[in-house]
Structure 1
């Protein structure tokens, strides 16, 4: 589990063996069963979590009570409600395990301590936040400017091995369409092949 975290952070910064040991020490392994809720709207998010295995959905409920999936988090992705985590406000997001899953979690206090004791940590999380901001910007633009067909094809490209692990309803929720419309898109694409 720590090997995966080490490989991940080595993509962005280099830590000595001792530094990595200090870096990884505050992370706590948590396991979640399928359908177990990690965070509910209205709760305070006290963690950032690095997904070791499994799959999560990060979502909110619309005023009509419909589920809108913001993103799926699989191996080497992070889960949190960043606004709640940073600003200590009630969460507007829900996080739920879609499979039995493992996550390495770190608290805000421990993360701040890492900034002080291992200065490269700030660079790591800055790069991660930049990548996350770019991904969310692209997602917003895609939702605003692309057809559902194109969004579905982007989904398949972004999550190549995930569709078979999800229900049609979950994929449709991520795309912002009904599952009936998703069925039509799938049929259309399969006829075009």
Structure 2
């Protein structure tokens, strides 16, 4: 698998020498994931952070009644994991599944720690990545508290137009915290305008 996409992702925040890039690449594991395959299940050890090279993944929480709440989607050029459990070496609270056949790169927690030691500038990269993720989630919480369901749907479509075409209505509704039926009503009303 060509690793140019992941190296471009990293180069947005840090510059790597050829030796540093080669060392980083040596720690990555390539993985092909089939549609509907889970790369992480609740209560499993969360040992990897994944970079989506191609395809589409979804992180979701499954409650005791079987209700799914989508936490995030990951398109190509995005990172995904159960961050709390990955950082703290706890059993996963989330499931991560492929919504399409996908190719990912995975980095184990122990290898990430080695990377921080061997190439310290990666601490800067992952700090920026985590800050961006925290900011995105904070804005999402504020939107959920302050916007109507229709406004949240419109914001989702504006932010993720490509993803919206590839994700089921049920999964979008799960992300927005509404029922698929209510989302259908919102879409019908939007089309009438």
- Asked whether the two chains share a fold, i.e. TM above 0.5, the reply is yes
Q: Does 1:113 align with 2:114?
A: yes
Q: 1:104 to 1:93 in 2, by over 3 A?
A: same
Deviation per CA, 1:132-189: give whole Å up to 9, x if none.
Answer: 1001111111112211101101111111111221111111111111111111111111
- Name the CA distance, whole Å, in 2 between partners of 1:140 and 1:63: 23
Pairwise mapping of residues 14-33 of structure 1 onto structure 2 (< 5 A)? 14-33=15-34
When structure 1 is superposed on structure 2, of 103-112 and 13-22 the one drifting more is 13-22
Q: Which residue pairs with 1:45 in the alignment? A: 46
Q: Which residue pairs with 1:173 in the alignment? A: 174
TM-score by length of 2: 0.96
- Name the CA distance, whole Å, in 2 between partners of 1:7 and 1:142: 30
- Name the CA distance, whole Å, in 1 between partners of 2:74 and 2:119: 27
Pairwise mapping of residues 44-123 of structure 1 onto structure 2 (< 5 A)? 44-123=45-124
RMSD value over aligned CA atoms? Answer: 1.0
When structure 1 is superposed on structure 2, of 56-65 and 170-179 the one drifting more is 56-65
- Name the CA distance, whole Å, in 2 between partners of 1:163 and 1:109: 35
- Name the CA distance, whole Å, in 2 between partners of 1:171 and 1:137: 19
Deviation at 1:95, TM superposition (A): 0.4
Q: Which residue pairs with 2:144 in the alignment? A: 143
Q: Which residue pairs with 2:13 in the alignment? A: 12
- Name the CA distance, whole Å, in 2 between partners of 1:124 and 1:157: 27
- Name the CA distance, whole Å, in 2 between partners of 1:163 and 1:6: 26
Q: State the secondary structure of the residue aligned to 1:162.
A: helix
Q: Report the count of equivalent residues.
A: 192
Q: State the secondary structure of the residue aligned to 2:192.
A: helix
Deviation at 1:62, TM superposition (A): 3.1
Deviation per CA, 1:62-81: give whole Å up to 9, x if none.
Answer: 34321100010010111111
TM-score by length of 1: 0.96
- Name the CA distance, whole Å, in 2 between partners of 1:80 and 1:9: 17
Runs of 4+ in 1 over 3 A off after TM superposition: none
Unmatched runs of 5 consecutive residues or more in structure 2: none
Deviation at 1:21, TM superposition (A): 1.1
- Name the CA distance, whole Å, in 2 between partners of 1:145 and 1:153: 14
